[in-house]
């Protein structure tokens, strides 16, 4: 019983220290604010996702074409729009790179 | 030391409540240190649950029967390894295992993503903590494994049917699956709460979902194998409500794993994905409720207990919370793209999703209807095998076909000419297989014939995908065939791991069709020296043997087996009578199985009744291809491991994406 109480006490104290650790480490922080994504960061994230999606689709299209799943006509018909999507996302991201803080193109 | 166990569980509850309240406050107010403190509380909850679990495990190892739970589920003569499985052999211990896995998963998920998905994790912490509060409350206030009593000299022992290696590993795997679904659910809810409805929560939890899904699948197969070799009724799946309870979240998670690919590839189905992940998690809670509340009679369920209403309340809260959040965030979940064609890879994924969810909801209705009927009308109704078999065929066979068709169809749109070219080989092989099987008599079961034909189609499509991919890889890199093959899989682990899983599903389908649509069965009472015939086997009952072991009296009927004139030796089937505390010994049926490893067929002998005059009532099955079901488990595991294996190129790509967006990349 006594051993159990002592061990239970040690466990409780250890947990309290663990929970209090962020406050013990930084009793007086410069900033206690959580970083939340800004509107610009959200827009850049959306554009990065669109770019990655278009690039992945281009890669898939190439693979499908090479493997014979789609013929030349379908390949050519799909290639243009996908390249355009990737190029638009890349251009918008680059514009952010050149002008940080500027809003990208609106959400479609 | 039951006091330490109880104290540890109280600490877990306290830490979980703190993580819930402080985590929600920190996320709402944007307080960094408070968010870290809440995260640490969740990690501390895992540590204290480990302490509680160690206390219980030590009590089992030391035969401490002053703990009621230990006395009820163990005995001095119980084998060492089964003392470990006795931990989860009853209600309270299995709930503690649930909590241990839940807090472990939670601690790991928030720790691994503490920097990479910081903004999401602050909202994930209170969601996971809320689930931990529910389970730790049950263990502290309703079903404690640390209740004490005056210690009896010996315990009641573990149910003999649970003393089986498959049953030992079946519950932990199921819990790894059930509980694992809490992580993608929490991240999905975190994404909705934070308004981060981009793909981040999906890429962060991709591996968690796959891990939980794999564990759930393996757990079900282990349970099926246990039922096959131990329960002794001649089957492996009885559409029992508790078995169905594990199948439903598995089906919902399967649909989710497919539909997230559409969101990743096309930016579609955002609402559908959060609905599916919520459905999968709520169904895992429902499954736990079914097993533990005693509302259904099942071989798997625990006795009627007090936790039912608590669990029901928990499910209602989870459903209401997730539904409200989804409705609130609907404007953020609008898709940016539309389905371009009804004949495209994403359309096939969508059909696959609809069929999986339809099958899942059909099973849910079959499980819920008897409960509702009894609750509302006071009448007990049974939804039996024909209902489930019917819907399995209606939804399962098209699903099998789509599994082969999907990889052959291009994303976005496919032309008729392209379809004809890609479907020619697999379609031709499937038709030829169907004709050959029909000629060999497989037409005795139309669903069986269709299942075999579709299986041939899927296997041919998978083989063709590997062959085309390897050839294309060789053309690009001039690698040797084996190197190109390995490199193909290494560069597309999810895709080709997925194909291996599809091959496992085909093996499963062939095994189920073979053993259920083309099996043979006969039964009869035999005296020593008498024979019976089944399919092309002749079985002769030779004699009855009885032997005593430390735990039981074993009676075995020895049966000589001859097939097509060839002596195959003997099989033994009988009964074990376990000496355990109580007025009556517990009797288990011990079946005799003779496996033909070349054909995957089993001869399955049950000694239904052993009579005083030495005669035995036998029931004998011949189950063609049944062993493909167990082989499917191994292939399923292989495919899952391939898909789960980390991909450094993918990690780098995500690092670039999230680095550009001003936040670090998530771990998956």
Tell me whether A35 touches chain B (CB under 8 Å): yes
CA A100 – CA B39 distance, rounded (Å): 33
Tell me whether A56 touches chain B (CB under 8 Å): yes
Tell me whether A2 touches chain B (CB under 8 Å): no
Q: Nearest by CB to B119, which of A19, A35, A57? A: A35
CB contact under 8 Å between A32 and B32, yes or no, is yes
Pick from A2, A39, A54, A70 the residue to mutate for testing the B interface (most B CBs within 10 Å).
Answer: A70
Residue B12 makes CB contacts below 8 A (sequence gap 6+) with: B45, B48, B49, B52, B99, B103, B132, B136, B139
Model pTM score: 0.91
* Per-residue pLDDT, B301: 53
Residues in chain A with CB shorter than 8 Å from the CB of B32 are 22, 29, 31-34
Q: Nearest by CB to A3, which of B1, B196, B200? A: B1
CA B646 – CA B642 distance, rounded (Å): 9
* Per-residue pLDDT, A100: 56
* Per-residue pLDDT, B662: 60
CA B50 – CA B412 distance, rounded (Å): 49
Say if residues B412 and B344 touch (Cβ distance below 8 Å): yes
Q: Nearest by CB to A19, which of B2, B18, B663? A: B18
Reported as type and span, the H/E element at residue A1 is none
* Per-residue pLDDT, B668: 42
* Per-residue pLDDT, A85: 87
Pick from B32, B47, B196, B200 the residue to mutate for testing the A interface (most A CBs within 10 Å).
Answer: B32
Tell me whether A23 touches chain B (CB under 8 Å): yes
Q: Nearest by CB to B30, which of A22, A34, A64? A: A34
CB contact under 8 Å between A93 and B43, yes or no, is no
CB contact under 8 Å between B472 and A66, yes or no, is yes
CA B453 – CA B447 distance, rounded (Å): 10
* Per-residue pLDDT, B660: 67
What's the token pair of residue B272? 């559908």
**Phi (first) and psi of residue B404, to 5 degrees:** -85, -35
Find the residue in B nearest to A6 (Cα): B4
* Per-residue pLDDT, A47: 87
* Per-residue pLDDT, B663: 52
Bridge partners of residue B563, in order along the sequence: B537, B566
CB contact under 8 Å between A23 and B198, yes or no, is no
Say if residues B279 and A61 touch (Cβ distance below 8 Å): no
- Strands in B586-590's sheet, in edge-to-edge order, are B531-534, B537-548, B552-563, B566-578, B586-590
The rounded percent of chain A whose pLDDT value lies above 90 is 19
B23-65 per-position pLDDT tens digit:
999 999 999 999 999 999 999 999 999 999 999 999 999 999 9
Say if residues B556 and B572 touch (Cβ distance below 8 Å): yes
CB contact under 8 Å between A41 and B661, yes or no, is yes
pLDDT at A91 over 50: yes
CA B654 – CA A92 distance, rounded (Å): 19
Q: At what angle do helices B446-477 and B481-491 cross, to 10 degrees?
A: 110
Over its C-alpha atoms, chain B yields an Rg (Å, rounded) of 27
Question: How far is the first Cα of chain A from the last one, in angstroms, to the nearest whole number?
Answer: 66
CB contact under 8 Å between B468 and A56, yes or no, is no
Residues in chain A with CB shorter than 8 Å from the CB of B491 are none
CB contact under 8 Å between A11 and B415, yes or no, is no
**Phi (first) and psi of residue B131, to 5 degrees:** -70, -40
CA dihedral angle for residue A14, residue A19, residue A24, residue A25, rounded to 10 degrees: 100
CB contact under 8 Å between B11 and A11, yes or no, is yes
* Per-residue pLDDT, B334: 85
A29-59 per-position pLDDT tens digit:
888 888 777 888 888 888 888 888 889 889 8
A 10 A CB-CB count for B390 gives: 12
Whose tokens are 């099998």? That residue is: B400
Residue B441 makes CB contacts below 8 A (sequence gap 6+) with: none
Q: Report, as ranges of residue numbers, the positions in chain B whose pLDDT lies below 70.
A: 294-305, 580-583, 660-668
Question: How far is the first Cα of chain B from the last one, in angstroms, to the nearest whole number?
Answer: 39
- Name the residue ranges covered by the structural domains of chain A: 37-101
Q: Which long-range contacts (CB under 8 A, 24 or more apart) does B550-558 make?
A: B550/B77, B551/B77, B551/B578, B551/B579, B552/B160, B552/B576, B552/B577, B552/B578, B552/B579, B553/B577, B553/B579, B553/B585, B554/B590, B555/B610, B556/B590, B556/B607, B557/B607, B557/B610, B557/B616, B557/B618
pLDDT bucket at A104, cuts 50 / 70 / 90: very low
Pick from B263, B333, B345, B410 the residue to mutate for testing the A interface (most A CBs within 10 Å).
Answer: B410
* Per-residue pLDDT, B665: 46
Distances (CA, A) of B639 to B138, B489, B498, B503: 37, 11, 6, 9
CA B419 – CA B73 distance, rounded (Å): 59
CB contact under 8 Å between B472 and A63, yes or no, is yes
Find the residue in A nearest to B115 (Cα): A35
Secondary structure string (H, E, C) spanning B392-451? HHHHHHHHHHHHHHHHHCCCCCCCHHHHHHHHHHHHHHHHHHHHHHHHCCHHHCHHHHHH
Of the candidates B180, B189, B190, B133, the one whose C-alpha atom is nearest the C-alpha of residue B19 is B133
CA B176 – CA B188 distance, rounded (Å): 19
pLDDT at A108 over 60: no
CB contact under 8 Å between A61 and B1, yes or no, is no
Residue A53 makes CB contacts below 8 A (sequence gap 6+) with: A85, B264, B265, B266, B267
* Per-residue pLDDT, A106: 43
Residues in chain A with CB shorter than 8 Å from the CB of B418 are 69-71, 74
Q: Nearest by CB to B662, which of A21, A29, A44? A: A44
Say if residues B528 and B539 touch (Cβ distance below 8 Å): no
CA B90 – CA B611 distance, rounded (Å): 34
Whose tokens are 């065929």? That residue is: B393
CB contact under 8 Å between B660 and A48, yes or no, is yes
* Per-residue pLDDT, A43: 85
Q: Return the number of CB contacts < 8 Å for A and B.
A: 173
Most distant pair of Cα atoms in chain B: their distance: 83
The three-class DSSP label of residue B239 is coil
The three-class DSSP label of residue B45 is helix
CB contact under 8 Å between B661 and A48, yes or no, is yes
Residue B65 makes CB contacts below 8 A (sequence gap 6+) with: B71, B74, B151, B152, B153, B154, B155
Q: What is the nearest CA distance from B48 to chain A, expressed in angstroms?
A: 7
Secondary structure string (H, E, C) spanning B275-326? HHHHHHHHHHHHHHHHHHHCCCCCCCCCCCCCHHHHHHHHHHHHHHHHHHHH
Torsion sign, CA atoms A41, A42, A43, A44: positive
Pick from B1, B33, B193, B201 the residue to mutate for testing the A interface (most A CBs within 10 Å).
Answer: B33
């Amino acid at each position: 019983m006594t051993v159990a109480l002592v061990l239970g006490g040690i466990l409780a104290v250890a947990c309290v220290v663990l929970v209090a650790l962020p406050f013990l480490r930084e009793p007086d922080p410069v900033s206690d604010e959580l970083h939340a994504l800004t509107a610009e960061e959200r827009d850049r994230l959306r554009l990065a996702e669109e770019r990655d999606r278009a690039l992945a689709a281009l890669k898939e299209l190439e693979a499908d074409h090479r493997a014979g799943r789609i013929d030349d006509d379908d390949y050519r018909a799909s290639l243009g729009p996908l390249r355009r999507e990737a190029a638009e996302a890349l251009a918008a991201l680059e514009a952010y790179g050149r002008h940080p803080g500027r809003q990208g193109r609106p959400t479609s | 030391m039951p006091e330490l166990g109880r104290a540890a569980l109280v600490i877990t509850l306290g830490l979980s409540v703190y993580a819930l309240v402080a985590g929600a406050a920190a996320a709402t107010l944007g307080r960094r240190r408070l968010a870290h403190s809440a995260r640490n509380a969740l990690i501390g909850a895992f540590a204290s649950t480990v302490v509680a679990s160690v206390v219980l495990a030590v009590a089992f190892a030391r035969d401490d029967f002053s703990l009621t739970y230990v006395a009820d589920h163990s005995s001095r003569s119980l084998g060492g390894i089964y003392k470990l499985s006795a931990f989860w052999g009853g209600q309270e211990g299995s709930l503690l295992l649930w909590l241990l896995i839940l807090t472990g998963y939670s601690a790991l998920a928030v720790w691994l993503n503490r920097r990479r998905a910081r903004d999401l994790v602050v909202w994930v912490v209170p969601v996971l903590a809320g689930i931990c509060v529910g389970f730790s409350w049950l263990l502290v206030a309703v079903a404690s494994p640390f209740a004490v009593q005056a210690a009896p000299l010996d315990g009641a022992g573990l149910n003999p049917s649970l003393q089986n290696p498959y049953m030992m590993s079946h519950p932990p795997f199921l819990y790894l699956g059930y509980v694992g679904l809490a992580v993608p659910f929490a991240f999905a809810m975190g994404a909705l709460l934070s308004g981060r409805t981009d793909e981040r929560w999906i890429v962060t939890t991709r591996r968690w979902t796959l891990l939980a899904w794999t564990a759930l699948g393996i757990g079900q197969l282990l349970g099926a194998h246990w039922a096959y070799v131990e329960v002794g009724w001649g089957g492996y799946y009885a559409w029992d409500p508790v078995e169905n309870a594990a199948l439903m979240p598995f089906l919902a998670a399967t649909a989710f794993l497919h539909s997230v690919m559409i969101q990743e590839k096309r930016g579609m189905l955002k609402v559908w994905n959060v609905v599916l992940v919520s459905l999968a998690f709520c169904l895992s809670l429902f499954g736990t409720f079914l097993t533990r509340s005693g509302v259904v009679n099942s071989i798997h369920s625990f006795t009627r207990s007090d936790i039912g209403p608590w669990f029901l309340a928990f499910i209602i809260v989870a459903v209401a919370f997730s539904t409200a959040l989804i409705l609130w965030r609907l404007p953020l979940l609008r898709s940016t793209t539309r389905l371009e064609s009804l004949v495209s890879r994403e359309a096939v994924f969508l059909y696959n999703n609809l069929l999986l969810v339809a099958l899942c909801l059909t099973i849910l209705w079959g499980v819920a209807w008897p409960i509702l009927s009894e609750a509302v009308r006071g009448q007990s109704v049974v939804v039996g095998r024909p209902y489930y078999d019917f819907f399995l065929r209606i939804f399962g066979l098209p699903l099998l076909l789509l599994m082969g068709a999907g990889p052959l169809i291009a994303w976005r749109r496919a032309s008729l000419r392209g379809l004809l070219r890609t479907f020619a080989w697999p379609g031709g092989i499937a038709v030829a297989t169907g004709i050959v099987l029909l000629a060999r008599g497989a037409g005795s079961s139309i669903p069986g014939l269709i299942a075999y034909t579709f299986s041939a189609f899927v296997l041919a499509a998978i083989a063709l995908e590997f062959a085309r991919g390897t050839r294309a890889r060789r053309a690009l890199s001039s690698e040797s065939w084996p190197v190109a093959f390995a490199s193909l899989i290494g560069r597309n682990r999810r895709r080709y791991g997925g194909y291996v899983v599809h091959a496992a599903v085909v093996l499963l389908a062939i095994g189920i069709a073979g053993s259920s649509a083309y099996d043979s069965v006969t039964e009869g009472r035999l005296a020593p020296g008498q024979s019976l015939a089944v399919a092309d086997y002749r079985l002769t009952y030779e004699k009855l043997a009885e032997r005593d072991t430390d735990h039981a009296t074993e009676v075995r009927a020895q049966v000589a087996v001859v097939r097509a004139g060839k002596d195959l030796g003997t099989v033994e089937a009988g009964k074990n009578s376990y000496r355990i505390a109580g007025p009556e010994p517990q009797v288990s049926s011990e079946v005799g199985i003779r496996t033909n490893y070349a054909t995957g067929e089993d001869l399955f002998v049950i000694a239904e009744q052993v009579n005083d005059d030495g005669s035995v009532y036998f029931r004998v099955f011949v189950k063609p291809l049944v062993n493909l079901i167990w082989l499917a488990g191994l292939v399923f595991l292989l495919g899952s491991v391939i898909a789960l294996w980390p991909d450094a190129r993918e990690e780098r790509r995500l690092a670039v994406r999230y680095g550009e967006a001003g936040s670090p990349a998530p771990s998956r």
